[in-house]
Amino acid sequence: MAAAITRRSLLAVMGAGLGAVLVGCDSEPTSPEATATPGPTQPDEPAASPAQPADTEVLLLALARARELADRCRAITGAEGAARAMQAQVQGSLDEQAQVLADVLRAGNVAVPEPTTPSPTPQDPDRATTTSTPTGDAATATSAPGDASTGDDGATGDAEERTSGPSPAAQAAQALQQLGRAALDDVSPAALNALAEVSRANLPMLIALTAQRGAMAHLFGQEPSWPDLTGPTEAAANNLLNVYRPAVYGFEVIAARSHNDERAAYRTVLGPLRTFTRQLTELAGKAAAPAPLGYGLPQDVDSATARGTLAGELMATLPPSIMAQTAAFSGDEAAVAGSVRLLADAVRLAQPWNPVTAFPGMRVPGA
């Protein structure tokens, strides 16, 4: 399984590109606009201040957004079971995104706004019994059918809910759905097109962050409206085939060796992997190398534990491979949108075995 990302490892994996843009700005050749000084008729004017590092406004907006979502997630209380575990993973990733973005901006001598204290929400412990009537999307998210044990119309369940309100766990589930709906804004077609305008120094970091939002939305019950996969293409697509093809083969093997619910879980992942592999083959075109006849796999895939370990390892290979070539995609809307979608789906499909991280695919070996 991939090592958990740290702020130190994230900054290291971004390499000299981020360092040159955000740390060593004065060592870079500056543009005429950045070095312009007053003409000879204005000798007493002060020299122009240095230009801000690349993508400063984008990074500040990303920081504000990460803090906003982190505050919303933290305010949700009462989740139970799998929902609580997923909330904890997402909370940790959002907090780390905010911290890393703040560190990157400070490294570029950019003033970082202090975080604001979130206002109380209905999910705060002191207000857990709030039963205000939701409107719009919230009304849709909070409506639920009556319990089967109360009859076809669920009248008894509705009467009890009007009396006592939904349980804390039900409120938390609804709030997490709404948080997932909020994350959809970060992977809208307009947001993905704007992401392609980021400089190559910061693009990998923001692609990884955006993919986390797509996975987060899906894991909280929302389906992103992804554009058709039209990139990456040619050699870049072929590079991804080198990890998608073995993943498909591996999941075919472990699905064949498993039974019942376990097999169904592997097939749920296998279907999308096959679809992406076909699409990448088409996008690679003539650059697509012939598929090998087979792949080496561990001999021991007869136990459920061994199959789960192999599934996690196969899925862990996808995010780093997707991220490895993203710096070259600046200005390429199709390649950026495709990379975000592939990465987001790799994260959410791997969820049974690998946790959600702040910047999937960005790590230093051994970190």
Q: For 108-120, what is the mean pLDDT?
A: 82
Reduce the DSSP state of residue 357 to 3 states and report it: coil
Q: What is the largest CA-CA distance in the chain?
A: 88
Predicted local distance difference test score (pLDDT) of residue 38: 35
* pLDDT category of residue 362 using cuts at 50, 70 and 90: very high
Predicted local distance difference test score (pLDDT) of residue 37: 34
Cβ-contact 310, 250 below 8 angstroms: yes
44-58: pLDDT as tens digits: 444 434 557 789 999
Q: What contacts 47, CB < 8 A, 6 or more positions away?
A: 37
pLDDT at 24 over 70: no
Does pTM surpass 0.85?
no
pLDDT at 346 over 80: yes
d(CA 87, CA 209): 17
Cβ-contact 94, 70 below 8 angstroms: yes
* pLDDT category of residue 313 using cuts at 50, 70 and 90: very high
pLDDT at 30 over 90: no
**How crowded is residue 84: how many other Cβ atoms within 10 Å of its Cβ?**
15
- Percent of residues, the chain, with pLDDT higher than 70: 72
| Residue closest to 213 by CA, chosen among 63, 87, 66, 83 | 66
- Better-predicted residue by pLDDT, 136 or 282: 282
**What is the token pair recorded at 49?**
């201040």
Q: For 260-276, what is the mean pLDDT?
A: 97
Q: For 28-53, what is the mean pLDDT?
A: 42
* pLDDT category of residue 236 using cuts at 50, 70 and 90: very high
**Is residue 250 within a helix (H) or strand (E), and if so which, with residue range?**
helix 234-256
* pLDDT category of residue 158 using cuts at 50, 70 and 90: low
Q: What is the mean pLDDT of the chain?
A: 80
Predicted local distance difference test score (pLDDT) of residue 363: 67
Predicted local distance difference test score (pLDDT) of residue 142: 34
Predicted local distance difference test score (pLDDT) of residue 293: 82
* pLDDT category of residue 365 using cuts at 50, 70 and 90: very low
Predicted local distance difference test score (pLDDT) of residue 163: 59
* pLDDT category of residue 33 using cuts at 50, 70 and 90: very low
75-103: pLDDT as tens digits: 999 999 999 999 999 999 999 999 999 99
d(CA 187, CA 211): 8
- Better-predicted residue by pLDDT, 260 or 27: 260
Predicted local distance difference test score (pLDDT) of residue 51: 58
pLDDT at 206 over 90: yes
Predicted local distance difference test score (pLDDT) of residue 54: 83
| Residue closest to 312 by CA, chosen among 268, 350, 343, 285 | 350
Predicted local distance difference test score (pLDDT) of residue 141: 37
Q: Name the one residue in this structure whose structure tokens are 């600046």.
A: 330
Q: Tell me the chain's radius of gyration from C-alpha atoms.
A: 24
Predicted local distance difference test score (pLDDT) of residue 295: 87
- Better-predicted residue by pLDDT, 17 or 158: 158
Q: Name the one residue in this structure whose structure tokens are 């990998």.
A: 204
Q: For 329-333, what is the mean pLDDT?
A: 98
- Min mean pLDDT across 29-33, 206-210, 236-240 is at 29-33
